[in-house]
Amino acid sequence: MLRKILILTLLVGLIAACAPQATPTIDSAPTEIPATEAPTETPISTEPTYVDGLGREVYLVGPAQRIVTLAPSITELLFAVGAGDQIVGRDDFSDFPTEALDITSIGSTYGALNTEAILALEPDLVLAAEVNTPEQVKALEDLGITVYYLKNPITFAELYDQVRWAGTITGHEGEANALADSLSARVDAVTEAVSSVTEKPTVFYELDGTDPSKPWTTGAGTFMDTMITMAGGVNIGGVLSEPYAQISVEEIVLQNPDFIILGDALYGVTIESIGQRAGWADLTAVKENQIFVFDDNLASRPGPRLVDGLEELLKILHPELVVSQ
C-alpha cells in the first residue's frame, strides 16, 4: 500500500512540477509618504511579504521560530540551512536527517490534515509542498494559521534559490548562502567532468517493478530525467508521453539499456531478481551486471540531497571520471 501511495504522490506532486514554477519572492510594504501630506503618527508596516507557489501573499513578522513542515523535502531543506531546531512539527514521512524523528509528528498528510495536532503546536508558520493540496492550505488558512506553499524546483538553479529563501525566512541567511554556493560548485564539477564524455549509455530507472511486464519509470521533464542526462546518460523513459508512467517490457527490450537502476530496492526488489524476469535475461545491463541500487529519495524529494543523487548517478554511469571542485 505504501508503494502505491508513493507512486500517487509522485504523480500528483511531480507532474505539477513540470508547469512553470514560481520562484519565492520577497517584497516590502510601501513606505513612501505623499508629498502633499504631512507625516502622520500611524506606524508604517515593514513586515516582509512573500509570494508563495499559489500566488498568495504571506506575511511574517521576522524569521519564523515555530515551524510545522508538511513534506519530507521541506524538513530536509530546513535542517540543511541550520533551522532544524525551529521545526516543532513534521509529517509522518519526514525521516531525514535522523534528528527529524525526534520532532512531533502531525500524522499523514494524505487526505484531511490533523488540524488539531497542528494547532496544538502553536506554529507561527506552516510550510506545505506540492505533495499537499490547495484545499489543505485553505483549511489551515481558515483557522488563522500562516501557511506558505512551496512549489518544486525544476532546475538546480531554482533549488539554489529555494535554499537561500529558506535561510531568509528562518534567519539563517549565512548558512543558506554558503550551502547554495557549495551545491552550485558541486553541480558545476559534475557538469565539467561530463563535458568530456563522448559516448552516453542508455539507462532504465525503475520506480516500481510490482508488475515486471510493465514497471513504472520516469519520463521526460522529471528531475530524475534531468539528473540522468547531466550525469552523462540517456533515459530510455524519455520516449513516454507522461512524466511518470508504466513502460512495457517490449519497449525495454527494444531499447536494451546499458544500465538498470533500481529506485525500488527499498521495497524488496533485488539485483538478482531482475535477470529472473521473463524477457529480461538477454538485456545488456543484465548480461554485463550493470544493475545498481539507488536511494530514490535522492531524486523524489526536491531538496538539497538532489545534488547527492546527481553525484551518485555519475559514479554509476561514469566511474572513470574524477570530479573536482
Q: Which three cell numbers stand for residue 283?
A: 538485456
Close Cβ partners of 205 (under 8 Å, ≥ 6 residues apart): 217, 218, 224, 228, 235, 237, 261, 263, 294
Instruction: Indicate whether 23 pLDDT > 90.
Output: no
Task: Give the tens place of pLDDT for each residue, 75-109.
Answer: 999 999 999 999 999 999 999 999 999 999 999 99
Task: Give the tens place of pLDDT for each residue, 177-234.
Answer: 999 999 999 999 999 999 999 999 999 999 999 999 999 999 998 999 999 999 999 9
Alpha-carbon distance of 290 to 256, in angstroms, equals: 12
pTM for the model:
0.83
Close Cβ partners of 35 (under 8 Å, ≥ 6 residues apart): none
Alpha-carbon distance of 194 to 190, in angstroms, equals: 6
Instruction: Indicate whether 28 pLDDT > 60.
Output: no
Cell 536527517 sits at which residue? Answer: 97
Q: Which three cell numbers stand for residue 280?
A: 529480461
Instruction: Indicate whether 117 pLDDT > 90.
Output: yes
Q: Which three cell numbers stand for residue 216?
A: 513504472
Task: Give the tens place of pLDDT for each residue, 40-54.
Answer: 443 334 457 889 999
Q: What letter does residue 85 receive in the DSSP assignment?
A: G
Instruction: Indicate whether 294 pLDDT > 80.
Output: yes
Close Cβ partners of 223 (under 8 Å, ≥ 6 residues apart): 14, 17, 154, 299, 302, 306
User: Which of the four pLDDT bands, split at 50, 70 and 90, describes residue 14?
Assistant: very low
The answer to whether residues 166 and 83 touch, using CB atoms and an 8 Å cutoff, is yes
Query: What are the chain's domains?
Result: 47-153 (3.40.50.1980), 197-317 (3.40.50.1980)
Q: For the chain, what is the largest distance between any 2 Cα atoms, rounded to a whole number of angstroms?
A: 84
The answer to whether residues 237 and 218 touch, using CB atoms and an 8 Å cutoff, is yes
Indicate the helix (H) or strand (E) that contains 271: helix 271-274
E-assigned strands of 74-167? 87-90, 125-128, 147-149
Q: What pLDDT is stored for residue 2 in this prediction?
A: 43
User: Which of the four pLDDT bands, split at 50, 70 and 90, describes residue 30?
Assistant: very low
